[in-house]
Chains A and B, each alone.
Chain A
Amino acid sequence: MKAPQHPESIESCYHLVAPTSRRQQAAAGHKVPLTPALSPREREQAAAVQLAPEHGCRGTACFAARHRHPARWAKAERDKPRVYCMGRCYVAPATAGETARPHVEVRSPQAILLANLVDGGARQLDIYLARGGYRGLERALLRSRQEVVGEVLDSQLRGRGGAGFPSGVKMRAVAANPSPVKYVVANGDEGDPGSFTDRFLMEDDPFRLIEAMSIAGYAVGAAQGYIYLRCEYPEARAILLEALSQARSRGFLGERVLSRDFSFDIQLVSGHGSYVCGEETALLRSIEGRRPEVMPRPPFPTDKGLFGKPTLLLNIETLCNLPWILEHGGEAYCALGYNKSRGTKALSLPSLFRKPGIYEVEFGTTLATIVEEIGGGMADGRLVGVMPAGPMGGIVPASLLATPLDFEALRAVGGNLGHGGIVAIDEHTSIPQLVHHIFEFAADESCGKCTPCRVGSRRLADALARALADCSLSPGERVGVRGSPSSTDGGTHPVDRGQWKSIVEALAQTSLCGLGVGLSELANSVNRYFQKEFSPCLS
């Protein structure tokens, strides 16, 4: 008989141990706290998780670049809590203390997102105003809410968080809801390892985000916004807090924004280091102070979101398009792009590229252009494939680089767009190693609610680990095996082909959220393009 101990280490913060539910808070003495027990200001002040400067990243971009700094990677594999991406992939393998900033460049005909970043950032309100900031909100406030929503519909803007859902349609749904209380939530969780655009949009252009959320709040009739920020971005946190307070003291937030009949404020909420908290329903539960597990939909957040109220939840980059769209019109925005993917997209290119950094490109640019021209090709290896969606989507093999950057075109080749972190894989990483890395990531980051993802990803990660430790891959490629002693009989432990197939299928068909589905997409792209490399692992 053994009594478990209360986990008190930092690790506890990194795991989903905010097990309180709203009903439980009520039981604890706060009768039905429709807002969290702490005041907004207190919540902002509440300390975020701090990582030591030498804490290593285990994210996919750092994994792919581990040969650059084996000692650092070895430490990262041991460091607790495990951190998958610190938004520093441009110097991968990265540590938390890395202060270098990425190269930023606009490669689209029109700078929609990155103008201020290229010009050295606009962290002060005055600079933002001097560069033409807040014209979008001013225009919006002169028009009716329906017209603002109409403008976004016209732009054909689609969500940049991964799913590519038309943002105007979401807005229209929230705007049409008669509820007197609504919320706008900015998803600043940027969880996909290999992406760091949202981080620098928040750090270098915080007022654009504030302006964008205000526009969204006006359009849907919300008076309160929340920015959900992952705790791996302490710099963004400090900058956003400062920007929010500047905006508040200068009348850009609070009662009567810009002296108009519109009140709006924004509160910053920090995450606790969980990838799944980027998923919208888990994110909302996290803001509510409940255990952040994925919730079934319907109800969609647009109907019953934060605290049960209609909620417009958009990704940071999605939101940052709004000021430009309101200033220049939806049509102007829609003029750029390709097929059903309109406008531009900011991409993160990690360190395996010769020219890592953040690039704004027009949709329709081919992956070849992105890899060869913009990224300058691989720095020190031969390209095997790119993962445009990080772990939650397929690998596009080098042979298919002619594919244009477009939601549908990428899906057609078994890929995805994710947050636009283009993780390149070169020959330093074998496909089995990559697949093992990703299932290990998933097993650790799964919220644990649904069976296929909670158990399936762990089974496959363990099976791959055993296979890698034993099978005839070169010795340097061996990976550590979690927990269990590997075979001492000297035999090989390939992954059972039938088990691999059925678990992948169960992930695809029965997972509750996009994490499980994304894993199956990765596995299927491996089956499709990398048979030869992967089959030695299968029995």
Chain B
Amino acid sequence: MPVVTLNGQSASYRPGQSILEAARAAGIDIPTLCHDPRIAPFGGCRLCVVEVEGSSRPVAACTTPCSEGMKVTTHTPELEEYRRTLLSLLADGYPPEAIARHPDKAFHKYLAAYGVAPISVECGSLLPPDVFCDATHPYIHVDMRQCIYCQRCVRICEELQGQFVWKPWYRGDAIRILPDQGTTLLESSCVSCGACVDTCPTGALEDQTLLLRGEPEHWTRTTCPYCGTGCEMNVGTRDGRITTIRPVLDAPVSKGHLCVKGRYAHAWIESEDRITVPLLRAEGDWRKVSWEEAVGFIARRFTEIMKTEGPERIGVVASSRATNEENYLAQKFTRVVLGTNNVDGCARVCHTPTAAGMKMTLGTGAATNSFDDIERAHAFLICGANPTENHPIVGARIKQAVLGRPPLPGGEGGDEGGAKLVVIDPREIELARYADVHLQLRPGTNVPLLNALACAIIDEGLADEAFIAERTKDFDAFRKFVADYAPAKVAGITGVDASLIRQAARIYANGKPSMCFHGLGVTEHLQGTEGVMCLVNLALLTGNIGKPGSGVNPLRGQNNVQGCAHMGCDPGILTGGVALKEGRALFESVWGAPVPTESGLNLMEMMDAAAAGKLSALWLIGYDIYFTLANEESTRRALEKIDLVVVQDMFMNETARRFGTVFLPAASPFE
């Protein structure tokens, strides 16, 4: 690795690394207000000026790339004096009460460290009359009297979220940072990711909750409980309440970013209608009971049913929102204590076609690549998924990749053009606006459309013959099969122009590497499994698998879909994805208890059994089936016939309201 000298010590650096980053890596702190590692260097605040031997003036450490043998001095009396001057310029007219309120903000810390006090408005120059203060936004408070024009908000909104809300208007000292519509933040196109607030070094942008509840006293690092992306967050609490939730900078998936759900959607924890004591239905009405009474009641009823009617008349449904430990216990309890394999989870419901389709074609039913491959892909195929809404962090990363990356300091790297994008979706999802081709197919025609893509790839000679010969079998049969799906013919079925199909085929085949994402728009269909297999076939056909930046990647719904399935919340599969038949003996020896031999009922079968009067008890963990299963009417008929419905949830859900016998209040992920 090449080497620079920092304050007399030599330090190595990565090519393209700025002086600032190299110094930070070497433990030297150069003051800066406009730099944030999540966004491209800017060089605006000038606090980071350092001396470089041979250069006539100091240079900005954030925008100057290291070069071999460079000799840098970061702290001299002169440099410190410039920094003090710059800070005092920024402090002119700055509200002193803001400093007193939040002394930990980066800007306030520098003011203290350099002994600069804000000059009060009277003796400094007049406060600009047009400062923007705005509290219309539900989560973000704006007070631009505290703005020092570092433009971090502008750049992070653009570069990390891809939303372009904040804009610098006017110029010189008349510059103002305002939202895109020129009106309130509420009326802007803000999607409330909170990135701008997180980066703002002064508190001009601040979380409303933090202002109301005070600076956090404790921070807890955890994983976001919402979607399956797996973002990491720091939860800040004070007096037992959440005051703010911030992204974790070095998180591998979210890379210092969160979406509105993880960042701000936590008010429900303190919601008035949270149920906090166990409830038992007595003569039609709920009655508050003690935990002993509720648990005793359930235990007695389960025992009665097991003894008199048989354990196969009890079903348990686990939750993809619960942890691995909880799901493991749920299925073990069902198998060992209740003595039945009637255990299922929503994980098995929504993405079974993915698991099945990928297992059949590739041998394993999970995503083939990691999200880090998004930055390596040259083309994307997004089918039946709406990442910017449902997996916003993945969505933002795809958007960034498509818009092109800003270069490193010094201009190396970065690509202005960005990756190509094909969207297959009947709806105009947000990413469709960024797409090179949007195939707006008729709902239910995924399979013919994907086959037409395969057909176009083959007859335009874009298939990866070498890969096919080496890694696949039965290609001839496949070729013959898809030959029947000429784009011109499929256009009639799908309503998508043949030329668009061909264009999409070319983008995907030529991307090298091309990455495919799919969601419930593929799986929740009559031909869900086949749809997934078609996507796998496209990847195999073009050699877009097993390489960085390629692959077939399901976007899962809830945060622990994968874990719930892996823990064995499945009527025929034990922990670790072991089939019941093969694993039973091992599990019996480890658990020291018998495991029932017969495969159990899945949720759909439980509903059928209940409708037929063959199910007496159902324990639902974090799953409001009456509300979510496709046919409300048949679910109602089934649930009505079950004697004991145990519901475990944080809120009184619809299933419990209509059919529940016992309600067990659950803790939230933050408790």
Chain A interfacial positions (CB closer than 8 Å to B): 1-7, 15-17, 19, 21-24, 26-27, 29, 31-32, 34, 274, 276, 291, 293, 296, 298-299, 303-304, 307-308, 442-452, 454-459, 462, 483-484, 502-503, 505-506, 508-512, 517
Contact = CB atoms under 8 A, between A and B. Distances in A.
A509 B48 CA distance: 12
A484 B126 contact: yes
B136 interface: yes
A293 to B, nearest CB: 8
Given A19-B168, A23-B403, A448-B170, 11 more contacts: A2-B133, A5-B182, A17-B170, A32-B403, A34-B417, A299-B407, A449-B43, A455-B89, A458-B173, A484-B125, A506-B82
A307 B433 CA distance: 22
A15 B49 CA distance: 28
B183 A4 contact: yes
B132 A4 contact: yes
Contacts of B148: 451
B135 A1 contact: yes
Interface of B: 41-47, 49, 57-58, 60, 63-65, 78, 81-82, 84-86, 89-90, 92, 125-126, 130, 132-136, 148-149, 151, 158-159, 162, 164, 167-176, 178, 181-184, 402-404, 407, 409-411, 416-418, 433-436
Contact of A452 (B86, B134, B171, B435): B86
Interface centre among A27, A447, A456 (most CB of B within 10 A): A27
Contacts of B46: 450-452, 506, 510-512
B76 to A, nearest CB: 11
B182 A26 contact: no
Tell me what chain B mostly uses at the interface: helix, strand, loop, or mixed.
loop
Contacts of A456: 85, 89
B43 A304 contact: no
Contact of A455 (B92, B130, B134, B162): B92
Contact of A4 (B84, B159, B178): B178
A454 B172 contact: yes
Nearest to B181: A6
Contacts of B403: 23, 26-27, 32
A510 B175 CA distance: 20
Contacts of A293: 168
B135 A506 contact: no
A291 B168 contact: yes
20 contacts: A1-B135, A3-B184, A19-B168, A23-B162, A27-B403, A27-B433, A31-B434, A276-B171, A303-B411, A444-B172, A448-B168, A448-B173, A454-B173, A455-B92, A455-B173, A459-B125, A505-B85, A509-B78, A512-B43, A512-B46
Task: Report, nearest first, the 8 A-B pairs whose CB atoms are least far apart.
Answer: A299-B411, A448-B175, A296-B63, A6-B182, A458-B173, A446-B172, A455-B89, A19-B167
A17 B175 CA distance: 10
A506 B85 contact: yes
B121 to A, nearest CB: 10
Contacts of B65: 298
A307 B404 CA distance: 13
B125 A3 contact: no
B404 A32 contact: yes
Contact of B44 (A31, A299, A304, A451): A451
A506 B81 CA distance: 9
Contact of A450 (B43, B64, B168, B416): B43
Given A5-B182, A443-B172, A448 B149 contact: yes
A27 B172 CA distance: 27
A509 B58 contact: yes
Contacts of B136: 1
A23 B405 CA distance: 9
Nearest to B184: A3
Nearest to B136: A1
Contacts of A291: 167-168
Contacts of A276: 171
Contact of A296 (B60, B134, B149, B167): B60
B158 A503 contact: no
Contact of B410 (A15, A26, A299): A299
